[in-house]
Structure 1
Amino acid sequence: MSSDAGMAIFDTRFHNPSIFSVRATANARDVLDFCVPANPYFPPPALVDRIQAGLADTLKYYPDYAPVHQENISRLIGLPVENIVVANGVTEIITQLCLAAEAPLLTDVPTFGRWTDLPLQYGMPIHFLERRKENGFRLTVEEIVAKVKSTQARTFILCNPSNPTGACSSEADIARLLDELSHLALVVIDESFIDFAATPSAERLVLRHDNAMVVKSMGKSLGWHGMRLGYGVAHTALAERVRARLPYWNINGLAGQVLRDLQDFHEEYRASFPKVAADRRYMQERLGEISTLVVYPSEANFILVELPAGVSGKALRNDLLQRHAIFVRECSNKVGGSEALLRLVVRKRPDVDRLVAALKDVLATA
């Protein structure tokens, strides 16, 4: 196994390098990406063709106004326009929520890096509730409420399903949690991967609470991260306050075109998620063939695995990229994460077979 502890492009504390940097480093266009969690069954070719056909107008003219985007999201999720906040990627909402949040904050870890890094960057007091591997990285309502009380948190953030663990709280637990934490200034449920789970969204639940908000990235579900599109759902007054903090023209023309055209591809969109779930089951079975790996349950479109003791996740990542042109996510730059943990995106079965063969090869030399 390579002794290189980490190529220069991976020396970042916030995220991973772009696929463009990774391709250049590997000197290959056909890098197999098990890092970026994009839906492999969407968009369909017909939607891509429509986007390309309208590209000249999309680039030439100003995009729609914010209320038009809210209406398009409203039709997609079946909730009132006044409860919707549309954003240039979910990180735009996350940034504004962190800037306005009452401290101290509390979030589960490991989690999406923006929820941990932004409060630290702004010098805001933040506490972490660790997901323990011996519990399959699952949290109970009782654990969360006890930690809120012990830290005197005023803002609580939960990723559901969790990123990178894939653990997911039930709809009943989220409902209980919102009731138990109704005294807080803000409760945020980040549901960026909920479409891939069997658990229903909490979007309707948060409408009953004036201190709660669901936020969601759409890039994962649409299979288009570069489009930069996300949204939030909240009680009317809270939604209005968040919208007031965002630029009026914050959605670019391409994202706006996708939102308009998505209405005609709603059936294909919904049908894509059970296909990902089937591939996830297959991938869990195949990874389970590697006896030295610990494969954790997941309800997202990725699977968390733990490497054998003594194996460097960074060196394994580099070997997979350099020897097999496979790009994976190791989790050492996440608060509460570890170099021993890899988050592997669910892909179609031939790609999974290639990954498993490469992992067996690289681990054999560890």
Structure 2
Amino acid sequence: MSSNKHLNIFQTPFHNPSIFQIRDKTRFDGQLVDFCVPANSYFPPTEMEALINRNMHDILKYYPDYAPVYQDCIADLCDAPAENIVVANGITEIITILCRESRGPILTSVPTFGRWTDIPPDFDIPVFYLQRKKENAFRLSADEVIRRAREVSASTVVISNPNNPTGAWFTGEEIRAIAEALTDVDHILIDESFIEFSDLESAESLAMNSDNVIVVKSMGKSLGWHGIRLGYAVANTLQTEALRRKVPYWNINGLAGFVLKNMWRFKDEYRASFLKVAEDRDYMFEQLQKVPGLITYPSKCNFLFSELPKGVSGKRVRDLLLDHYGLVVRECSNKVGSTEYYLRNVVRRKEQTDALVSALTDVLTALDREPQVPEAEGVAG
């Protein structure tokens, strides 16, 4: 546990505190650099912000459009027909509905996005885990997923592709193999919230032509604006019609709706941003290899998952980076299947990566002189 009582805000059961809480509590006097929230560093463009500012009066005054308008906007971005899309107030809205409606058990790999592990118990639905292992760079095979689903008699199988927080992935061929083997389960839920930052094949087409596959996506990561709360699901028309009946009537706020309706103006910048992030990811991966004792794993996301040197507390590292360097990193002990000896660092621009690498080197060098903390066993390894 961190000895810095002013940073007790990090003692949350599932997620990190908001950036607003962190700014209020840190002792660092200056502008923070965020390596925690996985937002696109190259989107939105300043022209889009200016467009919003010019129209803010109407955005706030009037009711937003109805869901079909936004389904058309998303269809223009993802190439799926509007009838196969359900628009949501962030991916959590869709996840909550799908978990609540599951008859259980639910199977998910871990570590993963916290909502997949913390929502099922709220509805007394059993959830089983498939542990990702560092020996395999946290990747799983299709056979491992299929075998574990059979072992626990899963009715719902959750696949994060690529995975948060490890960045590990399945190929399109592996996803199809899982779907073909598990046609008898109620739902295969594929979370593709980070797939835009990769060269992976989306399962949206598979979902549209399948009886039990549903793809869910957060849009905050790719748009670079988590605060507007946008996400969507893609499935066959029977599934999407049923799912639409379960979301609130006006579930998209006016600002989010305005962004969607004007994305056509910025599609080129939007798609180009993912290539820029991928280039920065390669650079960040290369530079993190230079930090003594740190092991960083390959990733298809806009973040990198790193293992700290043996016995070094991620909580100490997080607190020191924040208070002394103004760098906000994601320590992963409150993710099921992970420990405090892992950090997830969001891909930022090269000059920011250089600052992180320098600070991490300083902190780990200093901590190397301190007594080591025994590591927990049986997780993330």
**Partners in 1 of 2:310 and 2:127 — Cα distance?**
31
Give the CA deviation at 1:121: 2.1
Decide whether the 8 Å contact of 1:159 with 1:190 is kept in 2: yes
| Per-residue deviation, residues 30-78 of structure 1 (Å, max 9, x unmatched) | 1110000000000011111111111110000000001111111111112
Instruction: State the secondary structure of the residue aligned to 1:249.
Output: coil
Partner of 1:202: 203
| Per-residue deviation, residues 124-143 of structure 1 (Å, max 9, x unmatched) | 11100001110010010100
Are 1:190 and 2:191 counterparts?
yes
Decide whether the 8 Å contact of 2:292 with 2:361 is kept in 1: no
Are 1:91 and 2:73 counterparts?
no
Partner of 2:9: 9
TM-score between the two structures when normalised by the length of structure 2: 0.94
Give the CA deviation at 1:362: 0.6
Within a 5 Å distance, the mapping from 1:23-62 to structure 2 comes to 23-27=23-27, 28=29, 30-62=31-63
**Partners in 2 of 1:107 and 1:45 — Cα distance?**
39
Partner of 1:213: 214
Partner of 1:148: 149
Within a 5 Å distance, the mapping from 1:235-250 to structure 2 comes to 235-250=236-251
Partner of 2:303: 302
Change (3 A) 1:341 1:271: same
Moved more, 40-49 or 4-13: 4-13
Decide whether the 8 Å contact of 1:89 with 1:217 is kept in 2: yes
Decide whether the 8 Å contact of 1:6 with 1:318 is kept in 2: no
Give the CA deviation at 1:4: 3.9
Q: Percent identity?
A: 53
Give the CA deviation at 1:211: 0.8
| Residue identity matched to 2:282 | R
Give the CA deviation at 1:158: 0.8
Within a 5 Å distance, the mapping from 1:1-366 to structure 2 comes to 3-4=3-4, 7-27=7-27, 28=29, 30-366=31-367
Decide whether the 8 Å contact of 1:5 with 1:315 is kept in 2: no
**Partners in 1 of 2:212 and 2:314 — Cα distance?**
40
| Residue identity matched to 2:190 | I
Instruction: State the secondary structure of the residue aligned to 1:187.
Output: strand
**Partners in 1 of 2:30 and 2:99 — Cα distance?**
37
| Residue identity matched to 1:55 | M
Instruction: State the secondary structure of the residue aligned to 1:7.
Output: helix
| Per-residue deviation, residues 253-302 of structure 1 (Å, max 9, x unmatched) | 00000001101110110000010000000000110001300110101000
| Residue identity matched to 1:182 | T
| Residue identity matched to 1:123 | D
Decide whether the 8 Å contact of 2:30 with 2:326 is kept in 1: no
| Per-residue deviation, residues 152-177 of structure 1 (Å, max 9, x unmatched) | 11100011100000001111111111
| Residue identity matched to 1:12 | T
Give the CA deviation at 1:102: 2.0
**Partners in 2 of 1:362 and 1:6 — Cα distance?**
20
**Partners in 1 of 2:19 and 2:231 — Cα distance?**
21
Give the CA deviation at 1:6: 8.4
| Per-residue deviation, residues 163-208 of structure 1 (Å, max 9, x unmatched) | 0000011111111111111110011000000000110211111112
Change (3 A) 1:167 1:6: farther
**Partners in 2 of 1:283 and 1:276 — Cα distance?**
10
**Partners in 1 of 2:354 and 2:80 — Cα distance?**
40
Instruction: State the secondary structure of the residue aligned to 1:30.
Output: coil
Decide whether the 8 Å contact of 1:109 with 1:129 is kept in 2: yes
| Per-residue deviation, residues 100-141 of structure 1 (Å, max 9, x unmatched) | 012111001000000000012222111000011100100101
Decide whether the 8 Å contact of 1:5 with 1:314 is kept in 2: no
Instruction: State the secondary structure of the residue aligned to 2:310.
Output: coil
After the TM superposition, which parts of structure 1 deviate over 4 Å for at least 4 consecutive aligned residues? Answer: none
Instruction: State the secondary structure of the residue aligned to 2:334.
Output: coil
| Residue identity matched to 1:165 | T
Give the CA deviation at 1:214: 0.4
| Per-residue deviation, residues 283-339 of structure 1 (Å, max 9, x unmatched) | 001100013001101010000000011111011100100111110001000110110
- Structure 2 residue ranges without an equivalent (≥5): 368-381
**Partners in 1 of 2:138 and 2:104 — Cα distance?**
25
Instruction: State the secondary structure of the residue aligned to 2:215.
Output: strand
Decide whether the 8 Å contact of 1:39 with 1:222 is kept in 2: yes
Decide whether the 8 Å contact of 1:6 with 1:314 is kept in 2: no
